Amino acid sequence: MASAAHTCDALVVGAGYIGCAVAAALAAAGVRTALLDRGPIPSGASRANYGNVQVQDAELAHSLPMVTAGYRRFATLEAELGCSVGYRRVGSLLLIETAAQQQIMAARLPTLHAAGIVAELVPAEHLAELEPLLDYRRIAQDAILRPMAACYHADEGQVSPFQFMAAFLRVGRRHGLAVHPHTEVTGFDIAGGRLVGVRASAERFSAGVTILTTGAWTPRLGRLLGRDWAIPHVHGQALVTERSDLRLNNHLSSAAFFEAMHAGEGDASAGETRPASAVLAVAQTADGHFLLGEAGASTEDLGAHATGQGQAAVAREVMRVLPVLARLRVLRGWAAPVAFTADSLPFLGPVRDLPGLILATAFKSTVVVTPLVGDAVAQWVCTGRTDLDLTPFSPDRKMAVE
């Protein structure tokens, strides 16, 4: 078959949150840009999440400038994009269930406060005021769950995931962005030690710079380049209920969230998706559906298949804390592979020894930094520098576990 050839200045591979924002920022900066995805748009983790603009759970050593600047961008984002992304302010409650978790959360506060993130520890008896649905008196009798406290941050938010990505694509297209769904990158072209393009389906794309925003699929592409990028993933599962008049004031999650998510017991070599544990993650859409998750297992499965075991584990975990939701019907469930790193830092920046290649992937909380990352990559491509210090996020760094 004759292969079609495309030429552009910048090629963005992977059209999730990050890819859409990067492609839009590049196109708006006057860079001739193409955006490719192996599936429909969106098809990765970005079509499977709650859209929470998370702040207080940030990685502390290097990520606070990115997270705080990223959060500030949301105040003006809709005006800049010229349309709604469904943005609204919502608080966040991280439930603390053990003395060890309480110690960890308390130790985080001075650093958060120094960065202007006014999170606070709230004793258990005040939880009912902040979140009446928690029904604290009832769950306090539960021998398993005795929330000792929570870490509360009033100033977080939520977007509508699909509106968010559509807004970036609209801006990009207005500036000439070419979008190619169902176009899977299967090879790279290197000339004179520089990455000069990719092979995708029956097509060839030549580009001055290629940006991989491929989430959990990034290690696969790295192997084609002889790289061994340490980006594992979990298979995250969630459920959505019917609409309800019950109102949740905050995103609810557990202080043990990331610890539990990354400690899956599935046999990765067998491609299993057995959820080792479900951790609390509850949000509500603006129109009243409850989003319940997550069960996570380390696995090699990059698919979107929910498992009965995982879905049941999610429901059980949520019922421990919000028994009032038991009367709601579950409409459907889903799963998606979510990339992470051992040091909780993203892979963001140029790849050493391979000019023409940039990575932007594996963010700890992606939504909050999405617009900022788009700007940062476009600034790097256009000027060779960024306002944001990318050094700690280098894809070539030696990884220290957080």
Ligand X SMILES: Cc1cc2nc3c(=O)[nH]c(=O)nc-3n(C[C@H](O)[C@H](O)[C@H](O)COP(=O)(O)OP(=O)(O)OC[C@H]3O[C@@H](n4cnc5c(N)ncnc54)[C@H](O)[C@@H]3O)c2cc1C
213 versus 284: smaller Cβ distance to ligand X: 213
Distance CA 189, CA 390 (A): 26
User: Interface with ligand X by CB under 6 A: which residues?
Assistant: 13-19, 36-39, 42-46, 48-52, 54, 184-185, 213-217, 221, 236, 238, 293-294, 336, 338, 361, 363, 365-367
17 versus 380: smaller Cβ distance to ligand X: 17
101 versus 218: smaller Cβ distance to ligand X: 218
42 versus 349: smaller Cβ distance to ligand X: 42
106 versus 202: smaller Cβ distance to ligand X: 202
13 versus 127: smaller Cβ distance to ligand X: 13
In what helix (H) or strand (E) does residue 8 lie, and over which residues does it extend? strand 4-13
Q: Indicate the angle between helix axes 370-383 and 64-81, nearest 10 degrees.
A: 90
Q: Which residue is nearest to ligand X (CB)?
A: 16
In whole angstroms, how large is the CA radius of gyration of the chain? 21
Q: How far is CA 370 from CA 23, 54, 71, 83, 396, in A?
A: 11, 11, 10, 16, 22
- Smallest distance from the beta carbon of 159 to ligand X, in angstroms? 9
- Smallest distance from the beta carbon of 106 to ligand X, in angstroms? 24
17 versus 152: smaller Cβ distance to ligand X: 17
**CA angle in degrees (0–180, nearest 5) for 252-256-259:** 130
- Smallest distance from the beta carbon of 299 to ligand X, in angstroms? 13
Amino acid occupying residue 8:
C
| Residue written as token pair 């043990």 | 256
- Cβ distance 236 to 335 under 8 Å? yes
Tokens of 196: 């000069």
- Smallest distance from the beta carbon of 283 to ligand X, in angstroms? 6
Mark residue 109 as left, alpha or beta (left: phi above 0; alpha: psi -120 to 50; beta: remaining). alpha
Torsion sign, CA atoms 343, 347, 349, 351: positive
In what helix (H) or strand (E) does residue 96 lie, and over which residues does it extend? strand 88-96
What are the helix and strand counts (H, E) for the chain?
Answer: 10, 17
201 versus 394: smaller Cβ distance to ligand X: 201
| Residue written as token pair 């029956």 | 202
238 versus 256: smaller Cβ distance to ligand X: 238
Distance CA 392, CA 399 (A): 10
CB neighbour list of residue 9: distance below 8 Å, 6 or more residues apart: 31, 32, 33, 207, 208, 209
- Smallest distance from the beta carbon of 143 to ligand X, in angstroms? 28
- Smallest distance from the beta carbon of 213 to ligand X, in angstroms? 5
CB neighbour list of residue 370: distance below 8 Å, 6 or more residues apart: 17, 18, 21, 70, 164
